[in-house]
Amino acid sequence: MPVLDTAALLHWPMDRLVGGLVAHSQLAELQRLSPQRAMLIESIDMQWLSPSTQDAQAAAAATGDLPRLSQVDLDVLAIAMSSGQTLFTDDYSLQNVCRSLSHPFESVSNRKSTQQWAWELRCIGCRATKQADSQTEEECDICGSPMKVKRARR
């Protein structure tokens, strides 16, 4: 039983969704994005879950992806982690967390990410960098300009 991100719910044919693991929070997101599709999805046999996201939040914080993930994303990630099933998502932050956990994932319609990403704080003034211990943007110790969270250069 695959774990399905909202992208799969929006783009895959109905017969491919049957039996999938999904979060209750995805239904509100679907109703906002495509009310007609939400009605169709409610009518098919899927496993609707409300997971605890504590472990998913910790895993996303460890990779630096937590600020880029919505509550729905964390719910879907938590389902994937607790079930051990493959997560189908086009969200690169979710793929990054899965890769760090060696958890199986596949893309829905976009290309799958190919490498692990790391994040850093980068000054918009002098371009100084430092490790992003948290995802709180702060001022540069060197020039006082704001530091933004960016993908670390390799």
pLDDT number for residue 134:
58
Q: Does residue 136 share a domain with residue 100?
A: no
93 and 138 both lie in a single domain: no
98 and 125 co-located in one domain:
no
Q: What is the largest CA-CA distance in the chain?
A: 58
Q: Going residue by residue through the chain, which has 154 residues, state the pLDDT in tens, using 9 for 90 and above.
A: 999 999 999 999 999 999 999 999 999 999 999 999 999 999 999 999 999 999 999 999 888 888 789 999 999 999 999 999 999 999 989 999 999 999 999 999 887 777 777 778 889 999 998 876 655 678 899 999 998 878 776 5
Structural domain includes residue 112: no
154 exposed, middle or buried (CB, 10 Å; 0-12, 13-18, 19+)? exposed
For strands 3-4 and 87-88, give the pairing.
Answer: parallel
pLDDT of residue 138: 82
Question: Any residues with CB less than 8 A from the CB of 41 and at least 6 apart, and which?
Answer: 9, 14, 17, 27, 30
Same domain, 86 and 26: yes
**10 and 76 share one domain:** yes
Would you state the structure tokens that stand for residue 80, as one six-digit string?
Answer: 């994937």
Flag whether 114 is in a domain: no
Q: Cα(144)–Cα(15) distance, rounded to whole angstroms? A: 55
Domain of 58, in residue numbers? 3-106
Q: How many domains are contained in the chain? A: 2
